[in-house]
């Protein structure tokens, strides 16, 4: 009598990187863990000692916070470190089909590394001080304006922002056109009705064309200023007590979609 064999599913391994000042690593890792990923929390010094860890990983997460106190500018110290010592290892992981997600400070870091927008060595975009010249902490509505491994075009989600340097700027109009033609503008700030343009406070920082997040040309590296990991439970949504919050928190969407991609690619 033939015996049935059970196909063993591949374990999706995701590295959550932290440094002095990082403060959103546990929540972000947990959002992926809830989708079935195996999470490895690593201090940047540990990864620098053993960069081969990325050779076995399927994803790298750069969470929010204030890495190294942002003393030299948001994301500058960690971004420069990754640019010179780990950039090639990260790109090899992405070439295999892996993902990179940078949230808030993580987005700032990805810009400093040159991994975003991925046009070359010269930095062509920046995240500058909010136009109000103050820290902004509020909920925003986002619309996905392109399809990638994290979102489908037309997705609408709500989640908080918490930053002082989140104003997305481009070096020139040519960079903006290239982002648009490549489908790299992942997210835009919109009004609560999903409309744009979005005046303040819907666009909380004065970002060019209401841009809240971009990807690299592959769509597998995403940087965004808002914090989807802070809307992964129904009671975190500001609409919860009014009874109008979605049953499945909208902040889980990029984590679910990314894990779906990784399971299809590596499973």
Tens-digit pLDDT profile for residues 9-19: 779 999 999 99
* pLDDT tier, 225 (very low <50, low <70, confident <90, very high otherwise): very high
Q: Which residue, 131, 142, 155, is CA-closest to 226? A: 142
pTM: 0.95
Residue 1 pLDDT: 44
Least confident of 116-125, 146-155, 191-200, 239-248: 116-125
Average pLDDT, the chain: 95
- Tens of pLDDT, residue by residue over 68-120, are 999 888 999 999 999 999 999 999 999 999 999 999 999 999 999 999 999 98
Active-site residue, from 27, 136, 165, 229? 229
To the query of whether residue 227 is one of the catalytic residues in this protein, the response is: yes
To the query of whether residue 104 is one of the catalytic residues in this protein, the response is: yes
pLDDT exceeds cutoff 60 at 3: no
Active-site residue, from 104, 136, 163, 165? 104
* pLDDT tier, 4 (very low <50, low <70, confident <90, very high otherwise): very low
The domains of the chain are located at 13-266
What is the C-alpha separation between 42 and 52, in angstroms, rounded?
13
What is the C-alpha separation between 93 and 13, in angstroms, rounded?
12
Q: Which residue, 229, 230, 234, 228, is CA-closest to 249? A: 234
Residue 122 pLDDT: 82
What is the C-alpha separation between 57 and 22, in angstroms, rounded?
21
Which tokens is 48 given? 């620098």
- Please give the average per-residue pLDDT across 207-235, as a whole number: 98
Distances (CA, A) of 246 to 30, 34, 224, 238: 20, 18, 22, 11
Name the percent of the chain lying above pLDDT 90.
Answer: 93
pLDDT exceeds cutoff 90 at 5: no
Does domain 13-266 correspond to CATH entry 1.20.1250.20?
no
- Tens of pLDDT, residue by residue over 125-175, are 999 999 999 999 999 999 999 999 999 999 999 999 999 999 999 999 999
- The residue that leads in pLDDT, 72 or 237, is 237
Residues 6+ apart with CB under 8 A from 65: 18, 21, 22, 23, 24, 25, 104, 105
To the query of whether residue 121 is one of the catalytic residues in this protein, the response is: no
What is the C-alpha separation between 234 and 249, in angstroms, rounded?
6
Residue 8 pLDDT: 58
What is the C-alpha separation between 112 and 131, in angstroms, rounded?
20
> E strands within the chain?
13-18, 38-43, 59-62, 99-103, 125-128, 136-144, 156-163, 167-170, 185-190, 211-215, 221-224
pLDDT exceeds cutoff 70 at 240: yes
Residues 6+ apart with CB under 8 A from 177: none
What is the C-alpha separation between 184 and 207, in angstroms, rounded?
15
Active-site residue, from 24, 227, 250, 261? 227
Taking the CA atoms of the chain, what radius of gyration do you get in angstroms? 18
Which tokens is 92 given? 């090899």
- Please give the average per-residue pLDDT across 176-193, as a whole number: 97
């Amino acid at each position: 009598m033939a015996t049935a064999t059970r196909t063993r599913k591949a374990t999706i391994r995701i590295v959550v990187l932290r440094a002095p000042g990082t403060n959103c690593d546990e929540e972000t890792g947990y959002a992926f863990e809830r989708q079935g990923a195996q999470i490895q929390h690593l201090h940047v010094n540990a990864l620098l000692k053993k960069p081969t860890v990325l050779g076995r990983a399927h994803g790298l997460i750069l969470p929010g916070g204030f890495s190294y106190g942002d003393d030299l500018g948001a994301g500058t110290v960690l971004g420069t470190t990754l640019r010179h010592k780990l950039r090639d290892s990260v790109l090899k992981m992405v070439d295999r089909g892996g993902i990179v997600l940078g949230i808030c400070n993580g987005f700032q870091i990805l810009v400093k590394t040159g991994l975003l927008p991925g046009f070359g060595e010269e930095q062509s975009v920046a995240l500058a001080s909010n136009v109000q010249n103050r820290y902004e902490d509020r909920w925003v509505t986002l619309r996905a304006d392109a399809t990638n491994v994290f979102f489908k075009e037309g997705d609408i989600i709500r989640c908080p922002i918490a930053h002082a340097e989140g104003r997305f700027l481009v070096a020139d109009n040519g960079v903006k056109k290239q982002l648009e033609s490549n489908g790299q503008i992942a997210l835009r700030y919109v009004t609560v009705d999903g409309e744009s343009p979005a005046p303040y406070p819907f666009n909380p920082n004065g970002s060019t064309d209401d841009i809240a997040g971009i990807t690299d040309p592959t769509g597998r590296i995403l940087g965004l200023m808002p914090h989807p990991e802070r809307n992964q439970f129904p009671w975190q949504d500001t609409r919860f007590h009014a009874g109008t919050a979605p049953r499945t928190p909208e902040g889980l969407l990029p984590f679910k979609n990314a894990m779906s991609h990784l399971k299809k690619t590596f499973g």
